[in-house]
Structure 1
Amino acid sequence: MDVYVSSGIATPGIFVQPAGADLRSASNEEALKNIWEEVRACFGYAKPDGWRIQVHKQGEEIRLFGRSGKEWTAAYPSVTEMLRTRIKHEQAIIDTELVGFDQEGRHLSPDQLSNAFRYRCYLLDVLHLKQEDLTQRPIRERLSFMEKYLSSAYHDSLIFANYQWIGSFKGLLHLYQECRQKASRGFDGTIIKRPEARYFTNALKVKPEETVDAVVVGAYLDDEETVNKLLLAVPSHVRKTWVPIAQVAGKGASWNTIWSACQPYVVSQQPEYLEKVPHTPHVWVEAKVVVSVKMTRLKLGTRYLVHADAARECLLREDKGPREATSFEEAYQIAFSNGEVKEREF
């Protein structure tokens, strides 16, 4: 089925490019104070750790779109049927986060979503409801709209993200600590939105442990010709290039899944617009496959403009497209805030 992309007007059945989130790292209270100085009064909620899914309803038809616009309706029939049953409105576009759990009720990482025993959709935002495009309304009005017109849809499998009003630094600190305590229950950081923010205004995503979404652009082989490391890069929206950020090693089922996803994109030469690579890989990969990777910190360097130090725990993110990876500019600002060296021009 063809997927059409809206140019900014929310129309059911036409995918709307979702609002993004600017990454912030808050490993200590001082870093969180800097974030408070940036945003002041705001709404915030604990970010569920799953796939961002845009739900479109037209009559009895439900369609599920990932962040990149790829349609996932057929892949998740039980979720589709649940949404068809719970959402009573004839037409709607709703932003959700789809999270998976195993038979014991334990949260599954996003790369295991398709293997889940049961699912839960968190309602994050609303773009279209009651025959109205809501994307130009501020978030405070959209939240009221959801509460008024979607409360009857709430269910164990479809629940409202727990937005909280934050009017002070103490309030932000309390929410952030609460979000960290929820990490083992399937939450991943804190989302912050200014009260007047329209839908297409980027939110802030605040995380204690530094992770980035990067794109695989190369692979390194061991003596047995097995892939044991991947070369990762991030997109620079200013430079219009791909900027190498780290090598990451791995093994096991998740690692094999990542490399299987890369194989259709193996190419014979360096990908276009990829900047200088510190160590040339044995295999080049077109910049198509997105992974999430943990690290000790982001730091400015010489071999890498920004280096994901001690990169590890690489997971496939099928729900994201290459341009939705963490940007070089975001990574640079986080690295610069760590105080490694003086700021440079891009």
Structure 2
Amino acid sequence: MAKSPRSKPLLAEDKPLRSRARKPRDPAQPNLPFDPMPARVEPCLALLKPRPPVGPDWLYEIKWDGYRIAVHLNNGNVRILTRGGHDWTQRFPGIEDAAKRLGVGSAILDGEAVVLDEEGRPDFGRLQNSLGGRGGKLTAGNAIMYAFDLLYFDGYDIRGMELTSRRYFLQSLLKGFEGEIRLSEALDGDGREIFTAACDHGLEGIIAKYKDAPYRSGRFGEWIKVKCIQSDSFIVVGYEHSMVARGGIGSLLLAARKGGDWVYVGSVGTGFSEKTAEQLRKMLDTIKSKKPPVVYSGRRKNLVWVQPTLIAEIEYRAWTHDGKLRHASYKGLREVQDNAAVYELDGPASNGSLA
């Protein structure tokens, strides 16, 4: 696989910035010019768009297919939090160890935990397997973190700085560092060409970020995501029982959210191995429901309805005219702790957006 184009280093000749761990602050000196370290920061989220913005005000990054995490480092103590705020430090021992070796007293790094395939591409299924699947308690020892933002650095909250300044400090922190925390490279150039290259390399897509924007929690359009292949989260509402299919599952029945209701959006019958299908069947049979959680007018037989509690990550090509997923493929179950957002319909299915 050809390497992604690299931007010109921000610190071409400078040495990496380093600091020594600071001692706990003296409460008798409340006016020390340091910012209190936040216990948690709600992440900045990217807005889904059909095409990337272009122009000199934007920089671009690879869209990593994994789990969004924040690494909190404070005087040698490390916490790794999921997007939903759950502590998964013990599940990423390699990333935890790397954070302790960064050589800075305090920092909060924003990024994505991924597992790479043989060609260096992130593989969500491998990450899930390394963690033991949904609800698993295994550690992902082979996971790495691609860091793309720095929110707190050496005693100072830098979220109010523009993105280019935050990346300056992030790059200086990771320059020459070897370990399970790596820099998510910023790519300069035409966003359309970068997006095409990402798709040609089999990647999920790109993220465009407004260079002068501060870090704001939530989804405000200062970060834009553009996907090569659609991949979103849907709720599992049942399965089609089969005597010949793997695990007895002919296909999973899926739904999206619309207001306070679930809307049936089709099924997926590919993407799971025999082992995965057997694990799914065991989970599904513990949450069977006598009544369907969605309005269903199809002609499928041997349907088994379940309570809408499992969230599946589904890759698909497009929507049909009647609001169903086209060419869907199962990628894995999302963790509740990952705060996975179920696809939300704000009108016709083809105009849906992530919650």
TM-score by length of 2: 0.71
User: What is the CA–CA distance in structure 1 between the aligned matches of 2:285 and 2:108, rounded to whole Å?
Assistant: 35
User: How many equivalent pairs are there?
Assistant: 299
Contact 2:43 2:218 in 1 (8 A): no
Question: What is the match of residue 226 of structure 1?
Answer: 248
CA contact (8 A) 2:98 2:179 kept: no
Deviations 1:5-46 (A, max 9, x none): xxxxx9757333322223334xxxxxx4xx437x88312111
Q: Is 2:241–2:250's contact at 8 Å kept on the other side of the alignment? A: yes
Match of 1:289 in 2: 310
Letter in structure 2 aligned against 1:313? Y
Q: Aligned residue for 1:255?
A: 277
Do the aligned residues in 1 keep the contact of 2:57 with 2:212 (CA within 8 Å)?
Answer: no
Q: Distance in 2 between matches of 1:147 and 1:228?
A: 48
Pick one of 136, 151, 156 that aligns with 2:174.
151
Equivalent-residue separation in structure 2 for 1:41 and 1:257 (angstroms): 47
**Amino acid corresponding to residue 169 of structure 2 in structure 1:** F
Instruction: Select the structure that is richer in helix.
Output: 1
Structure 1 segment 1-346 matched on structure 2, within 5 A: 12=37, 14-25=39-50, 32=51, 35-36=52-53, 41-86=57-102, 88-101=103-116, 107=121, 109-113=123-127, 114-115=129-130, 118-148=142-172, 150-152=173-175, 154-166=177-189, 171-183=190-202, 187-197=203-213, 198-202=215-219, 203-223=223-243, 226-236=248-258, 239-250=259-270, 251-252=272-273, 253-262=275-284, 265-271=287-293, 276-279=295-298, 282-301=303-322, 306-318=323-335, 321=338, 324-329=341-346, 332=349, 334=351
Contact 1:95 1:126 in 2 (8 A): yes
Quote how far apart the aligned CAs of 1:295 are: 2.0
Cα-to-partner distance string for 1:148-170 (whole Å, 9 max, x where unaligned): 4x23573253221111345xxxx
CA offset at residue 206 of structure 1? 0.9
Alignment root-mean-square deviation, CA: 3.4
Corresponding residue SS for 2:161: coil
Question: How many angstroms apart in 2 are the aligned matches of 1:154 and 1:47?
Answer: 22
**Separation of aligned partners in 2, 1:11 and 1:70:** 21
Q: What is the DSSP-based 3-state SS (H/G/I as helix, E as strand, rest coil) of the residue aligned with 2:86?
A: coil
- 1:114-172 Cα shifts (integer Å, max 9, x gaps): 53673322111122223333334332332233234x23573253221111345xxxx11
| In structure 2, C-alpha distance between the alignment counterparts of 1:190 and 1:270, rounded to whole Å | 37
Q: Which runs of 5+ in 2 are unaligned?
A: 1-34, 131-139
Q: CA deviation at 1:229?
A: 1.7
> Structure 1 pair 134/70, CA: closer, same or farther in 2 (3 Å)?
same
CA contact (8 A) 1:111 1:318 kept: no
Contact 2:315–2:330, Cα closer than 8 Å, also in 1: yes
Rate the CA distance shift 1:48–1:330 in 2: closer, same or farther, 3 A. Answer: farther
SS of residue paired to 1:137: coil
SS in 2 for 1:292: strand
Q: Summarize deviations over 1:219-270 as a string: whole Å, max 9, x none.
A: 222257933221212234xx24333222111452333344445555444444
Compute the TM-score of the two structures, normalised by the length of structure 1. Answer: 0.72
